[in-house]
Amino acid sequence: MTAVIHPATDQSPQSPASALVCRNCGASYPLGAQHACFECFGPLEIGYDAERLSRVTRESIAAGPHSIWRYAGLLPAGQNAATRVDSGTGMTPLIRADRLADRLGFTAPLWVKDDSANPTHSFKDRVVSVAITAARELGFTRIACASTGNLANSVAAHAARIGMDSIVFIPSDLEAAKITQTAVYGGKLVAIQGSYDDVNRLCSELAETDEFESTAFVNVNVRPYYAEGSKTLGYEVAEQLGWRLPQQVVAPMASGSLLTKVHKAFKELQSIGLVDPLDYRVYGAQSSGCSPIAVAFETGSDTVLPVKPTGIAKSLNIGNPADGPYALDAVRSTGGAMAHVNDDEIRDGIQLLAETTGVFAETAGGVTTAVLKRLIEAGSLDTSRETVIYNTGDGLKTQDAVSDRVGPTAVIAPTLKGMRAAGLL
């Protein structure tokens, strides 16, 4: 569990990553802890060597561990099994949701990819596993993040497991469960009197200070590595379907990154021949309390206008989403759509998913389920096409969303008489 430090240029020979590429202007940079283009300030993402990607086969994946690291050949870090951070993240259940499908009128299969099964019960374990592995390879000695809660949980837990220092920044009004779950792991936890966007700005400033020179902010200075972790949500669905793509996917959007990475994963799998080509459609889900990307979609705009977030889906409350334009592009280019739902619909969505699948989702999963329903009603999503929806977090973290709606059927004395009085016998 000792951190093995490599200089940034000492890439493992098996890594398929070849460069950092600007998503805006296409400028290319050497791999390292850089996240913005020196030319145009656009966001950087990992570029790959096509030949190295194409060495990955279904068989080489199946021979790997039962975690995201089975896809190491398609990820920018962690090719060395001895030094990567494998917390058992990934290969979460893909659940055939026949009862939900019936309720919504599907004639084709409907699936729920349930990422509440990850170690800290959200998809963030994927991006953190990749980011913390890359951070160690790049020589960082402390891990940090700006978070709406789930990322905080995951960064603090991963740091505790490997014994790395951590410092986590959150808005001070987060759900109590997410604060407790982060603090219990024992790293530094800084609550900020402000929104997530304020927290994110502060972290960007801190990343430039001398005091934080050895600190990897997973979603700031090592963001290109971090974001690639979400590709595994695409790879796993394809593998779990027997190496084919679903016709439609619905993903929640905060920064918009997850959705774009599922799209990227599907394109990669097609280009290296692991799945047959398919005209799949990507759909995006937001809460009406924070819907800058979905509103841009509705209004036909290319510009994502920042908003001040409100509403119960706090994990999605990013008012100035970094990947908004790219999410719009992924959805529009595939013929998908976006929608947003209000807090009551989110609560209904949590209950609908729980009652029909046994999956207790956090508010973000309620958003996705409610948006699925909304898209069907609007005629934007086709119930005769095979569909996967992503549940990205756990209902135990946002219990307040439903705790005043659900409860015991009856409270009785421990007797048969009590049962009869309650009409249960």
Query: Could you give the CA distance from residue 7 to residue 21 in angstroms, rounded to a whole number?
Result: 20
- Residue 65 CB, nearest approach to a copy of itself (Å): 11
- Residue 79 CB, nearest approach to a copy of itself (Å): 21
Scanning 50-58, 118-126, 213-221, 307-315 for contacts with a copy of itself by CB under 8 A, the matching segment is 118-126
Residue of 35, 84, 121, 263 interacting with a copy of itself (CB under 8 A): 121
DSSP string of 111-143, one letter each residue: EEEEGGGSTTSBTHHHHHHHHHHHHHHTT--EE
Alpha-carbon Rg for the chain, nearest whole angstrom, is 21
Q: Does 3 bind a copy of itself (CB under 8 A)?
A: no
- Residue 88 CB, nearest approach to a copy of itself (Å): 4
Residue of 209, 242, 299, 379 interacting with a copy of itself (CB under 8 A): 209
Scanning 12-20, 31-39, 111-119, 281-289 for contacts with a copy of itself by CB under 8 A, the matching segment is 111-119
Number of shown-chain residues binding a copy of itself (CB under 8 A):
82
Q: Which amino acid is at 25?
A: C
Q: What angle do CA 327, 61, 125 make, to 5 degrees?
A: 50
Considering only residues 388 to 407 of the shown chain, the ones binding a copy of itself according to CB under 8 A are 394-397, 399, 402-403, 406-407
Considering only residues 140 to 199 of the shown chain, the ones binding a copy of itself according to CB under 8 A are 156-161, 163, 167, 170, 172, 176-177, 179-181, 183-186, 188-194, 198-199
Task: Encode burial over 214-246: b for 16+ CB neighbours within 10 A, e otherwise.
Answer: ebbbbbbbbbbbbbbbbbbbbbbbbbbbeeebb
All residues at 6 or more sequence positions from 120 whose CB lies less than 8 Å from its CB, including other chains: 150, 153, 154, 157, 181
Query: Could you give the CA distance from residue 419 to residue 102 in angstroms, rounded to a whole number?
Result: 33
Residues 75, 96 contacting (CB under 8 angstroms): no
Task: Encode burial over 179-188: b for 16+ CB neighbours within 10 A, e otherwise.
Answer: bebbeebebe
Residue of 10, 205, 344, 377 interacting with a copy of itself (CB under 8 A): 205
* Contact pattern from residue 335 through residue 364 relative to a copy of itself, giving x for each residue in contact according to CB under 8 A and a dash for the rest: ---------------xx--xxxxxxx----
- Residue 194 CB, nearest approach to a copy of itself (Å): 4
- Residue 422 CB, nearest approach to a copy of itself (Å): 7
Considering only residues 41 to 80 of the shown chain, the ones binding a copy of itself according to CB under 8 A are 66
Residue whose CB is less far from a copy of itself, 86 or 329? 86
Query: Could you give the CA distance from residue 187 to residue 215 in angstroms, rounded to a whole number?
Result: 14
Query: Could you give the CA distance from residue 194 to residue 90 in angstroms, rounded to a whole number?
Result: 32
Q: Does 104 bind a copy of itself (CB under 8 A)?
A: no
Residue of 120, 320, 363, 391 interacting with a copy of itself (CB under 8 A): 120
Residue of 9, 62, 82, 211 interacting with a copy of itself (CB under 8 A): 211
- Residue 113 CB, nearest approach to a copy of itself (Å): 11
Query: Could you give the CA distance from residue 368 to residue 102 in angstroms, rounded to a whole number?
Result: 17
